[in-house]
Structure 1
Amino acid sequence: MKLIRLIFLFLATAWLTGCASPQLPIALEDTMWSERDKTIGVAVVELPKPSVQLTGNQGLLDLAINTGLASGLRSKVETWELASMESVPQHLVDELNARGYKAKTLPPLKLADFKESGAKLGYAKHDFTPLRQQQVDKLILITLYVAGTQRSYYSVIPTSDPLTQVGGMTQVIDLTDNRLAFYEPFATVRAADGEWDEGPEYPNLTNAFYQALDESEQNILAPFRAQMLTAQ
């Protein structure tokens, strides 16, 4: 499972950056905690709908067949909720405010509302500096780019059971110049505990998804919690 997660993280980073050189993780800067006069905004990018992903070596006909056979699972996966991820910014803001920092939640952001910056590595891919008009100096931005299940195939033959997946990235962006003060992809892949193919409700797979979602949320919060404690 650890190898699968590493592969998933690599593919996720490649997906996020396209053909360009991937942005490597950036450790959270200490200035985050020394500049108490700065206002920190926390937001999520509008969340995707949970989906079923079919990966592997498949022709168009293979994909059509596999998609049809996965229709029952898809019907269930599309009912999975991401409401707890939407509440992560408020949790983080509450913890920041409790420790004496100035922080506030922002409404979910649409990337289409922000111009692509064309910036080099070390800077956000979109220009978020207009958010300074909302009296925000630094932006903690949580992006979820995939949620649901993935299953690999060779032609019409499954080569794995469905695995639940939650993946994205967390950034801290200095709105003075759009520079990244923190960058960390996250990915959680979890198998069902027991039989997965128990339609139409798929209870074991559903439980695995919400465990993966919770683990991802804790991974998002952990770097901030750890440094807040040591910065006191």
Structure 2
Amino acid sequence: MRLSFLAALTASICLAACGIAPTSPLFTPTGSFTATPGTKIGIVMVVLPKITTEFPGAACTDCMAAAATTHLSLTNHMQPLTAEDLTQAKVEIARLLEAKGMQVRVMDAALDLGQLPAFTGRQPASALRDFRGLKASHGVDKLAVIEVTSLGVRRAYADYRPLRDPEGVLTGAAYVVNLSDNTLESYQPVEAVVQVERDWDDSPHFPALTRSYFDALALGKTALIKPFQ
């Protein structure tokens, strides 16, 4: 099976998908997170998105409707699949940070970013949502956030025409917010893509494409953990 692992940062990804964005156009991914021993840090996962089938490039309403209709059986197969293994990323990150001497609190409940107010500060490299209220409520100084922004299967289109076979995909980011001023101390975007090697159109169970989805899940989880190693 051909695997491709990509990591890229663009303004559109950050603004539309990740829920956070730099306030400076010079902001770039920072990769690994470091902090002094004794740092109080929380770990939270954002509410996971629904597992979906996506058709980027099917730009018109009729194009999208045609693509959705063509792949209706695939969509019905994908929606009941799970992504529960992703929640274990918090546990693995906690183990890594505790080994570095940090005081770690793993938050059981998933975070709904829509419940946080917009951040109105002017600091460079700040989160768009205001995380500062979580400092007192959770007793931590920093917050490691695991955010998955899309999950499922993607097939690129040019209007009505598919450009390639569907592929399993996970996109998201791992980042650390300083809860004193809402600045980003670490930010690593992730895109894990797994293409199928053999015929994918094997309805109703789509075994090859299902495997590519779970492989993308595994690759994405590893990439989300990596900045904390």
TM-score (norm 2): 0.86
CA distance in 1, matches of 2:174, 2:48: 13
Give how far 1:96 is off: 2.5
* 5+ long unaligned stretches in structure 1: 226-232
Cross-structure match for 2:110: 108
Match of 1:193 in 2: 197
Task: Provide Cα deviations, 1:34-88, integer angstroms capped at 9, x if missing partner.
Answer: 2x22211001110001101112144222221221111001011112211011121
Unmatched tracts of structure 2, length 5 or more: none
Whether the aligned pair in 1 keeps the contact of 2:57 and 2:157 (CA below 8 Å) is: yes
Paired with 1:192 and 1:27, the residues of 2 have a C-alpha distance of 29
Give yes or no for contact 1:27–1:181 (8 Å, CA) kept in 2.
no
Alpha-carbon contact 2:32-2:226 (below 8 Å) kept = no
Structure-1-length-normalised TM-score: 0.85
Corresponding residue number in structure 1 for 2:178: 174
Q: Kindly tell me: are residues 21 and 97 of structure 1, through their superposed partners in 2, closer, same or farther at Cα, counting changes over 3 Å?
A: closer
Q: Which residue of 2 aligns with 1:215?
A: 219
Shift of 1:27: 4.0
Map of 1:230 onto structure 2: none
| 1:13-92 equivalences in 2 (<5 Å) | 13=14, 15-16=16-17, 23-28=27-32, 30=34, 32=35, 34=36, 36-92=37-93
- Supply the distance in 2 between the matched residues of 1:12 and 1:150 (Cα, whole angstroms): 16
Residue identity (%): 24
* Matching residue of 2:166: 162
**Who is 2:131 aligned against?**
128
Range moving further from structure 2, 209-218 or 147-156: 147-156
Indicate which of 143, 148, 154 corresponds to 1:150: 154
Structure with more helix by fraction:
1
Instruction: Give the distance between the partners of 1:3 and 1:98, measured in 2 at CA.
Output: 31
1:167 Cα deviation from its structure 2 partner = 0.3
Tell me the SS of whatever aligns to 2:216. helix
- Larger RCO (CA within 8 A; separation ≥ 6): 2
> CA distance change for structure 1 residues 205 and 129 in 2, over 3 Å: closer, same or farther?
same
Q: For 1:85 and 1:4, locate their aligned partners in 2 and report how far apart those are by CA, in whole Å.
A: 17
**1:195 is matched by which residue type in structure 2?**
D
3-state SS, counterpart of residue 168 of structure 1: strand
User: Deviation at 1:157?
Assistant: 2.2
CA distance change for structure 1 residues 69 and 21 in 2, over 3 Å: closer, same or farther? Answer: farther
Distance change >3 Å, CA 3–CA 93, structure 1 → 2: closer
